[in-house]
Chain A
Amino acid sequence: MERPLTQHIKKDGTPLSLKEYEATGGYEGLKKALKMTPAEVMNLVKDSKLRGRGGAGFPTGMKWSFVPMGEDAPTLKYIVANGDEMEPGTFKDRLLIEGNPHQLIEGMIISGFAIGASMSYIFLRWAYHEAARRVLVALDEAYRAGYLGKNILGSSYSVDMELHTSVGRYICGEETALLNALEGKRANPRNKPPFPQVSGLFGKPTIVNNVETYCNVPHILTKGAQWYMSISKSEGGGGTKLYGASGKVKRPAIWELPLGTTLGEIIEEYAGGMQDGYKLRGLLPGGASTDFLTPEHLNIKMDFEEVAKAGSRMGTGTIIVMDDKTCPVGMCLNLEQFFAQESCGWCTPCREGLPWTAKILMALEEGKGRPEDIGHLTFQTHYNAPGNTFCALAPGAMEPLQSALKYFREDFDEHINSHRCKYHN
């Protein structure tokens, strides 16, 4: 099985130096790209069916194709890596940045070449101190070797790259909010359109992609679109995916597997199944803002289409496992408290609805729930539905709740009827 993104990451936890990265074929993709035209690079990425790895799964090549090109296009364009990774239960980009920072940098330079960017930023979340140190070392190495800066490897292409470490807010992961944060502002999301591809950072054309997305790009350049599609088990997209599992499984970790590996394989084979004494009750397939799935869904493929068909989203591909001794109401409370706290406060349904939701769930957990609370919670899942809010934060917050009300309704009722949470003592 091919694992292009992680096969060279060292077991001892130290990052690959520039020399070590080059020895694995690193920066060969960039050399190849510089001999092509930007349009050829963009078409290659389109043909590979690479889809964004941040959660939404938008086709990467298509995203790039909206950037104005040619003589009339603005001379200043930006390429930005979204390394904000604050989706609870998600820990994949940390591995890629800490383990092999040059792979990310190379992916960004190639992507920058494809859209004609002259400046690039790695937007990294505050908590990733070790990753930040490693990125700074790698940037320094890349500049010294001529992979960054003026006339890269003797070509006519020039791009600079800087690290921006965030000061912490979940909403910074939303691409337009991230751009506001990079501009030094409050990270409120922006209206779309205009889309960042046309008017992004400081009003210039900007591409924001997830860290894992960029890490795929060098391999697509060196091995081609056909190869990239051949290593996927999914109809809808190429490549591998970093899957993870946390919670009470035997071996919580991250694995790079073909896109479209089934949930059951990930949970049973790779995570080793449940810890002794625990049964699988449900799972969030791709982070906190995805709908619960249940053991009956273990045969579905973890790709964008099949998870959607089952009523959830692949999201970040990092699975949060809920065992039979964990309270579904308590888990929803923990999730909604997080989303309520991290709401940017810009639009009313999110700012008011999420704390209200958390309050009701808290009442249920404390044994103070009332029968009408089920109706109030259901109302919130509609009130904060897509289209009613400014960005995807509140609709995402409602995904675990609406599915918990569907699959674990008896737990909600029991909290109300018995005036207690049976999972606590």
Chain B
Amino acid sequence: MAKEKVVSDEAKKEIEKLFHHLPHKQAACIDALKIVQKYNRWVSDQALEELAPILEMSPNEIDSVATFYNIIFRKPVGRHVIFLCNSVSCWIMGYEDIRKAIKEKLQIDFGMTTKDNRFTFLPIPCLGTCDHAPALIIDEDLYRDLKPAQLDEILAKYE
């Protein structure tokens, strides 16, 4: 029996729309990975196999691109992803206190996902908001001038 597809027809159509202004299909590789991730939340081995004929690349070639970039996920992630800035200005301003507080509250450290699949916790290089350090992003929402005491209220917004 054929496996159920992970790259949906909808995603495939969206990827094929990118081709018209590109000199070759491989040039759409990064955007194609983004599209797959938008629908599936991560990029599985099967997704690479299915992308291969669409992009006219081998699954390994696509994987070499997928694993290069920080926010293409090759492992499943939780419903929400917390990206905590661990670069120099946030380090000076005490991002480690935020990391410790999240660790205590959610029982996960960098690279881990909560058992209920609610949050994945990842470090991220400088978020470009150093005048309001420390900072983090949850999904696409930016939080700045963080104090550990604010975390309960922030995390409660994400189910």
Contact = CB atoms under 8 A, between A and B. Distances in A.
On whether the two chains bind one another, the answer is: yes
A299 interface: no
Instruction: From B70, B72, B91, B126, name the one whose CB has the most chain A CB atoms within 10 angstroms.
Output: B126
Interface residues of A, number: 55
B30 A184 contact: yes
B93 A168 contact: no
B47 to A, nearest CB: 15
B92 A202 contact: no
Interface stretch (A31-39, A52-60, A80-88, A105-113): A80-88
Interface stretch (B2-10, B111-119, B130-138, B150-158): B130-138
Interface residues of B, number: 38
Given A184-B28, A331-B88, A334-B91, A167 B72 contact: yes
B33 interface: yes
Contacts of B29: 184-185
B67 to A, nearest CB: 9
B125 A184 contact: no
Interface in A192-235: 202
A245 B142 CA distance: 20
B131 A88 contact: no
B128 interface: yes
Contacts of B72: 167
Contact of A127 (B91, B128, B130): B128
B70 A167 contact: yes
Given A91-B131, A94-B128, A320-B92, A167 B87 contact: no
A254 B64 CA distance: 38
A397 interface: no
A246 B140 contact: no
A335 interface: yes
A287 B124 CA distance: 17
A362 B23 CA distance: 46
B99 to A, nearest CB: 13
A54 to B, nearest CB: 14
Contacts of B28: 184
A326 B130 CA distance: 16
Given A89-B89, A184-B29, A320-B92, A167 B69 contact: yes
A256 interface: no
Interface of B: 21, 23, 26-31, 33-34, 64-65, 68-72, 83, 86-89, 91-93, 124-133, 137, 140, 142
Interface of A: 85-91, 93-94, 119, 125-130, 164-170, 181-187, 202, 244-248, 252-254, 284, 288, 318, 320-323, 326, 330-331, 334-335, 338, 341-342, 344
Report the 7 A-B pairs with minimum CB-CB distance, sorted nearest first: A246-B130, A168-B70, A184-B29, A88-B87, A252-B131, A167-B69, A88-B126
